[in-house]
Structure 1
Amino acid sequence: MNLLYWLEPWEPSPTVVVCVLVAAVLFARGAPKARTTLRRQLSFWFGLVALYLALHTRLDYYFEHEFFMHRAQHLVLHHLGPFFIAWSYPGAALRAGIPFSWRQRFMRPALQTKPVRIVLDVLFQPVVAVVLFVGLIYFWLLSPIHFKAMLDWRLYRVMNWSMVIDGLMFWWLVLDPRPAPPARLAPGRRIMMVVAAIPPQIVLGALIFFTPRELYPIYSICGRAFTWISPIRDQQIGGLLLWIPGSMMSVFGALIALRHWMRLSGRERLRQERMRDDGRNKDAGVAPQRPLHAG
């Protein structure tokens, strides 16, 4: 089996192909115009490729036939892929990739409509964002819901796309490097958001790991990809993936948000010191000094 075999989709989805291609084209067009750094470009492409591999390759067979592989898929869809895309701060590049006339005619009027603004304000409210981020994990891991989602291909795709969209919204809020405004949240609230999402993930992962009975029999019914792994061991590995790597991604997010907070706080202190110095110079009748590099 060569690489092309693994890249072949287990269940072809035009939606995945179109969405990934549109995002790739817009970012490739807009990155030079927005002067996106190499680090940010690599972060975006890594996240986008990770989402594609988790949604549209032969690996999807294993995601559907082994619980711990399913948890690995959702770790990529809800955490890893959206995290790296949001970390690249792609908003300016994606906007620049859209033709200016389209932005003026379609995007701006659509975003300024009252229903759209209300929906965005609700979804990006910190408490709602945290509840959705954690709640979707719990919802799709409820045994009856999970059973149906793994049997119905339409519900299965809704489950996967809900994780991707929610992950992008959550990490976009947390990893926004700008001050508020224009960012929706102040840096301190971003840290509180991501910290609040850690304990529920640990609790759920531990519950799955320590439960002595099989919670998700759908994998035994449909046939397991790895017959040498017992159902309980498969469940324990899946619980650990939610417990440790999932929580660690949130810790990394909190550290990046803390770094942004320190950077913005330092910038604000410098601005206030300059304003105080200019005020003293003005009171003393001294003209403010221009920087040496000023032309």
Structure 2
Amino acid sequence: MATVRLLKCALLCALVACPEAHAHVATPEASPLAWTFEPWVVIALAVSLALYITGYVRLRARGAQGRAGRTARLVAFVTGWLTLVVALVSPLHALSEWLFSAHMLQHELLMLVAAPLLVIGRPLAMWLWAFPAVARMRIGAATRSRWIKRPWRFLSLPIVAWTLHAAALWCWHAPRFFETALARPGIHTLQHTSFLGSALLFWWTVFGRASEGHGAANAHAMLLLFTTMVHTGALGALLTLAPGVWYPSCMETTRALGFDPLQDQQLGGLVMWVPGGLAYLIGGLMVGARWLTRRAPPRVGVGRPREG
């Protein structure tokens, strides 16, 4: 199952990384409130939803147990999918090419809303059921190869997932790297891929392991969320309280819309600081509730009549 989840994360990374082939550099002809209809983006989103719905309907028709759990995962996936639409197709995507604050909001939607909901939705497992039985068996056998198992065991370690996610956030928000990503489409693609990929891996270590019901997994998840909330809040505070503009490339487009670049940066920092911290807090509450309500395994001999 771990290898299946790794393939899920890889597919989701490819799904969202593709739309970012163009850097966030606004042109005079572009509208800051236009819908973005990249054909391959729309097709990828439509296919992913169609496969999920097909797999869900097929599983439901089989009458297998766990219908309530499948419904909850369906709601999570659809909500996460709609978040991707907002981040990549709606006017927010076009506006992020003009305003740093909109850019930050787009990143937060991808990392703090879409990523955890997609992880909870278990899309790959549902997508598999959209294929014939023979194809499902072949895909399952392929994901059990050692070339996927071993990397996944390493990447899914809590400390590794936490480090990769923290490194992606701090490194890409350094002025030199952020400015380079804005100027070069290929590097900008790498930036967004690392954001979403590390977020999917991070949230898997939080919700994937916690769902297994082990106390140690839940404890690790709580620690990951708390420490991430602290260091992302620190980054948001630095952006908010900075006396000057960190990213000069955003100044021209921000002023073109009549906004002050420093205030726009401060608003972007607040987006990471306050709503971002709230997302990690909600995740921690969910893990804590699951930890407290999980059933302890029955002890041997409890409830059985004593001999004699």
- Answer yes or no: same fold by TM over 0.5: yes
Query: Structure 1: how far apart are the matches of 2:255 and 2:245?
Result: 17
Instruction: Kindly state the Cα deviation for residue 109 of structure 1 after the two structures are TM-superposed.
Output: 2.8
- Structure 2: state its 5+ residue gaps: 1-31, 61-66
What's 1:127 paired with? 159
What's 1:43 paired with? 76
Structure 1 residue runs of 4 or more that deviate by more than 6 Å after TM superposition: none
Cα deviation, 1:95-152, whole Å, max 9, x if unaligned, reads 32343212211x2232222221121112111011111122211121111111111122
Identical aligned residues as a percent? 23
Is 1:54 matched up with 2:84? no
Instruction: Kindly state the Cα deviation for residue 45 of structure 1 after the two structures are TM-superposed.
Output: 0.8
Is 1:9 matched up with 2:36? yes
**Aligned counterparts, 1:157-172, within 5 A:** 157-172=189-204
Query: Which range moved further: 131-140 or 63-72?
Result: 131-140
What's 2:278 paired with? 248
Cα deviation, 1:8-51, whole Å, max 9, x if unaligned, reads 316x262x334423321221012231635544322211111111
**Aligned counterparts, 1:31-180, within 5 A:** 31-32=56-57, 33=59, 35=67, 37-90=70-123, 92-105=125-138, 107-176=139-208, 178-179=211-212
8 Å CA contact 1:62, 1:225 repeated in 2: no
Letter in 1 for 2:271: L
What's 2:231 paired with? 200
Query: Structure 2: how far apart are the matches of 1:153 and 1:57?
Result: 20
Cα deviation, 1:232-259, whole Å, max 9, x if unaligned, reads 1011111111111111111111111111
Letter in 2 for 1:8: W
Paired residue for 2:243, among 195, 212, 216? 212
Is 1:268 matched up with 2:296? yes
Letter in 2 for 1:217: P
Instruction: Kindly state the Cα deviation for residue 59 of structure 1 after the two structures are TM-superposed.
Output: 2.7
Larger radius of gyration: 1
Letter in 2 for 1:160: H
Query: Structure 2: how far apart are the matches of 1:114 and 1:126?
Result: 21
Instruction: Kindly state the Cα deviation for residue 89 of structure 1 after the two structures are TM-superposed.
Output: 4.4
**Against the structure 1 CA distance between its residues 234 and 262, is the aligned structure 2 distance closer, same or farther, given a 3 Å change threshold?**
same
With a CA cutoff of 8 Å and minimum separation of 6, indicate the structure with the bigger relative contact order: 2
Query: Structure 1: how far apart are the matches of 2:42 and 2:135?
Result: 22
Letter in 1 for 2:250: Y
- Structure 1: state its 5+ residue gaps: 286-295
Query: Which range moved further: 51-60 or 24-33?
Result: 51-60
Q: Secondary structure at the match of 1:186?
A: helix
8 Å CA contact 2:156, 2:205 repeated in 1: yes
Paired residue for 2:307, among 253, 271, 284? 284
Instruction: Kindly state the Cα deviation for residue 91 of structure 1 after the two structures are TM-superposed.
Output: 5.2
What's 2:222 paired with? 191
Query: Structure 2: how far apart are the matches of 1:214 and 1:123?
Result: 35
Query: Structure 1: how far apart are the matches of 2:149 and 2:109?
Result: 29
What's 1:288 paired with? none
Query: Structure 2: how far apart are the matches of 1:158 and 1:57?
Result: 22
Query: Structure 2: how far apart are the matches of 1:77 and 1:262?
Result: 29
8 Å CA contact 2:129, 2:136 repeated in 1: no
What's 1:25 paired with? 50
8 Å CA contact 1:209, 1:238 repeated in 2: yes
8 Å CA contact 2:115, 2:196 repeated in 1: yes
What's 1:228 paired with? 258
Query: Structure 2: how far apart are the matches of 1:7 and 1:28?
Result: 29
Paired residue for 1:237, among 267, 278, 300? 267
